[in-house]
Structures are given as C-alpha cells and as structure tokens.
Amino acid sequence: GGWVIRIVAIEIGIMIALIGWRIKNLPPQIPILFSRPWGEMQLAGPMVLWLLPGLTWLILLVSTLGGGIVFAGEKLAARIWLLAAGLVGFLATTSTVRILLLMS
C-alpha cells in the first residue's frame, strides 16, 4: 500500500505545482463546477482550484488512517480503500490538468 501513498503524494505535488505556476494567468472566473447546469453556474474563482489537492490530501489521510483502523484484520479491504484514494488522486489530477489546459 505504500506505493499508492507515494503515487498520490506525487499527484498532489503535480497539482500544487501546476496551480501555483498558472494561477496568476487565469481569468477571474474558470469552469470548475461541472456538475451544475451549463453556463455561469459552472464558474468559480481560480482559488477554488486549491480544493482539488487539498481534498485529495484529506481523502488520502482518511483512507490511510481509517483503512488501518476500520479494516485492521482485513488487509484486502484496507488495500481496496487505499486504491480508491489513489483513484480519487488520479481523477483530481486529471481534472486539474484539463481545467488548466482549457484556460490556456
């Protein structure tokens, strides 16, 4: 399970680096809330992008600690829990890259 933690940490680092590199060049409103109807309801300020690495880190923390506590006797369940955090990290990184490419 340690390799998943390292991969998610790298993904979080990539998101932080990309956001930090591009934040000054972004327009005042960017499309990020894709679950809302099309148009202005999808727009938010560029600072909302920081939620993606922050929430990914929080999910990794909860899945690492929670998986070890809740599934102490079930190693497979703890690994699945941790792999789900890895998937969330991958999706958050992909979303960050796509949003930033959309704005360039």
Can you say how many angstroms the Cα of residue 54 is from the centroid of all Cα atoms in its chain?
Answer: 7
Determine contact, residues 100/25, Cβ cutoff 8 Å.
no
The pair of structure tokens assigned to 67 is 């998986």
Are residues 22 and 103 in contact, defined by beta-carbon separation less than 8 angstroms? Answer: yes
Give the count of beta carbons closer than 10 Å to the beta carbon of residue 86. Answer: 20
- At 37 the three-state DSSP class reads coil
Residue with more model confidence, 72 or 4: 4
Model confidence at 86, in pLDDT bands (50, 70, 90)?
Answer: very high
Which pLDDT score, from 0 to 100, does residue 20 have? 94
Q: What confidence score (pLDDT) does residue 87 get?
A: 94
Helix/strand/coil (H, E, C) string of 46-91?
Answer: HHHHHHHHHHHHHHHHHHHHHHHHHCCCCHHHHHHHHHHHHHHHHH
pLDDT at 31: 81
Q: What is the amino acid identity at position 68?
A: G
pLDDT, tens only, 6-64 = 999 999 999 999 999 999 988 898 887 777 777 788 888 889 999 999 999 999 998 88
- What is the structure's pLDDT at 41? 81
Cα radius of gyration (the chain): 16
